[in-house]
Amino acid sequence: MRLAYRIRLRQDPLAYIEELSRASTAGVMPLPWGGWCVRDTALAQSLLRDPEYHTGGSVFFGGLLPERGAQMELGRAVRGLMRAGVPRYRAALPEAVTALPTASRWPDAGTRLVHRCLQDVLLHPGTPASIHELMRQAAHEGVAVRSAYVWQRARAELVRARLVAAVTEEAHRRRRQPAREPRDMLDAVLAVCPRARVPDRTVAALHLMMFRAIMAPVSASLAWSVLLACLHHTRTVPWPWSVDHVVREALRHRPVPWMLGRTLPRAVELGGTVFPPGELLSVCPYLLHHDERHWDDPDSFRPGRWAESGGHGPYVPFGTGPFSCAGAAVAHTLLTESLTALTQHARLAVTGADTRAVMSEGNVPRPFTLHRTPAPPAHPTGRR
Ligand code: HEM
């Protein structure tokens, strides 16, 4: 059984979870690898929203920052910094897009693009060049987005350890000369982590955690947006949809987060079953986004649905309720800005595409090639 589910997960994780859900009639189904998945849409929304399931801290921060107040403060601080960094991200995009070869290999090329435009927000330009270089390696070599291959993961471990050591030293240096205003994400983390309670090494681990929490879903969602839009519009004229609708639909059709987990703070009854405290219950955004009772034609990638007033069901690519993503709005902006830059004065096409996801820490697209061909603007300057 163990091997069988591993193979199915590797082949097509989203088809597999759908198959498991179809085979079950219970509101909450057991998962072959342990824990439970709340497959009933109404129960799933109640698990994500109801305060009674959120009395502890969020599993997102693991043991690094156990206190809920500190978790929320960190989320707000990083969100504020990212929001302030959007103009810098936007300004860096044209050069990063121009640097792409005519045929680029995605999703890796997307991860590099996102990192190149975000690097000064993650660590300001005055940070020692050796740490910038380690961050670059972390973005390019499987630390930011975990590789599906074991040998690459072993190499990434080395880079990760060196990066944490270097950022620990940098945190120590900065604590001796604190900045008046946060210049980058490390300053933002330091601002909410008192020296007496949070050691330098934990600060570095939190910085790395946020780096990955931003880089992995933004770059995978960008890759899905490019891939799905290109597969559904193969003509040479510009896409008939707004980039906003493409991003929304990609986040619905292929939500990157695989499962949103809640560890039960006490015994609860859900869907007719009583679960003991400490049990892990999860919600699969993909199942909610493909529920035929709530969405019109859920299995079609159709950005145009976002221009229609009805036919929309529960939409949780960023979660919902007390533990939902602190950076949802800013993430959406980064994605639409990136897609605008990629499509501006260019035609996009993909080859070698496969819409099955590969399981990393979430649903990541399989490698494909993006062909970006410069094209004259549809309306020459001075004419509309
Ligand atoms: C496309 C990009 C992104 C996606 C899909 C995404 C998705 C998510 C999801 C699903 C969660 C957990 C929600 C839950 O358990 O209910 C989460 C948590 C979080 N995300 Fe994001 N995220 C993205 C980008 C970002 C960015 C750019 C930031 C930067 C501010 C960020 C900061 C956070 C934080 C701080 C949490 C923990 C929230 C808490 O427990 O208080 N995320 N994200």
Size (the chain), residues:
384
pLDDT by residue (tens digit) across 144-196? 888 777 787 888 999 999 999 999 999 999 999 999 899 999 999 999 999 88
In a domain? residue 353: yes
Helix%, strand%, coil% for the chain, nearest 5: 50, 10, 35
> Quick check: 365 pLDDT over 70?
yes
Q: Which atom of ligand 1 is nearest to the CA of 260?
A: 15
Report residue 2 as tokens: 């163990």
> Quick check: 1 pLDDT over 90?
no
| CATH number of domain containing 199 | 1.10.630.10
pLDDT by residue (tens digit) across 104-148? 999 999 999 999 999 999 999 999 999 999 999 999 988 888 877
- Ligand 1 interacting residues, C-beta cut-off 6 A: 48, 58, 60, 71-72, 75, 78-79, 82, 213-214, 217-218, 221, 256-257, 260, 317-319, 323-327, 330-331
Three-state DSSP at 73 gives helix
Confidence label for 272 from pLDDT (cuts 50, 70 and 90): confident
CA–CA separation, 214 vs 333, rounded Å?
Answer: 13
In a domain? residue 383: no
The residues that bridge with 270 in the sheet, in sequence order, are: 273
- The CA 231 to ligand 1 mean position distance, Å, reads 28
In a domain? residue 56: yes
Q: Which atom of ligand 1 is nearest to the CA of 261?
A: 15
In a domain? residue 382: no
pLDDT attached to residue 144: 87
> Quick check: 200 pLDDT over 50?
yes
pLDDT attached to residue 379: 55
- The CA 260 to ligand 1 mean position distance, Å, reads 11
In percent, the amount of the chain with pLDDT more than 70 equals 98
Average pLDDT over the chain, rounded to whole?
92
Domain of residue 206: give its range. 2-374
Q: Whose CA is nearest to atom 29 of ligand 1?
A: 327
> Quick check: 382 pLDDT over 60?
no
Residue type, 163: L
pLDDT attached to residue 381: 45
Query: Quick one: which of 102, 136, 130 has its CA closest to 116?
Result: 136
Listed in sequence order, the residues at least 6 apart from 192 whose beta carbon sits closer than 8 Å to its beta carbon are 70, 73, 74, 77
- The CA 382 to ligand 1 mean position distance, Å, reads 42
Contact 258, 363 (CB under 8 A): yes
Mean pLDDT, range 252-275, rounded to an integer: 91
Contact 32, 5 (CB under 8 A): yes
> Quick check: 22 pLDDT over 70?
yes
In a domain? residue 303: yes
Contact 265, 277 (CB under 8 A): yes
What Cα–Cα distance (Å) separates residue 27 from each residue in 24, 271, 272, 283? Answer: 8, 5, 8, 11
Contact 342, 117 (CB under 8 A): no
Going by their DSSP bridges, the two strands 36-38 and 28-30 should be labelled as antiparallel
- The CA 48 to ligand 1 mean position distance, Å, reads 14
> Quick check: 378 pLDDT over 70?
no
In a domain? residue 380: no
Residue type, 140: H
pLDDT by residue (tens digit) across 300-358? 999 999 999 988 999 999 999 999 999 999 999 999 999 999 999 999 999 999 999 99
Mean pLDDT, range 34-47, rounded to an integer: 94
Mean pLDDT, range 81-107, rounded to an integer: 97
In a domain? residue 172: yes
Number of independent structural domains in the chain: 1
Mean pLDDT, range 248-267, rounded to an integer: 94
Confidence label for 377 from pLDDT (cuts 50, 70 and 90): low
Listed in sequence order, the residues at least 6 apart from 87 whose beta carbon sits closer than 8 Å to its beta carbon are none
> Quick check: 250 pLDDT over 60?
yes
In a domain? residue 381: no
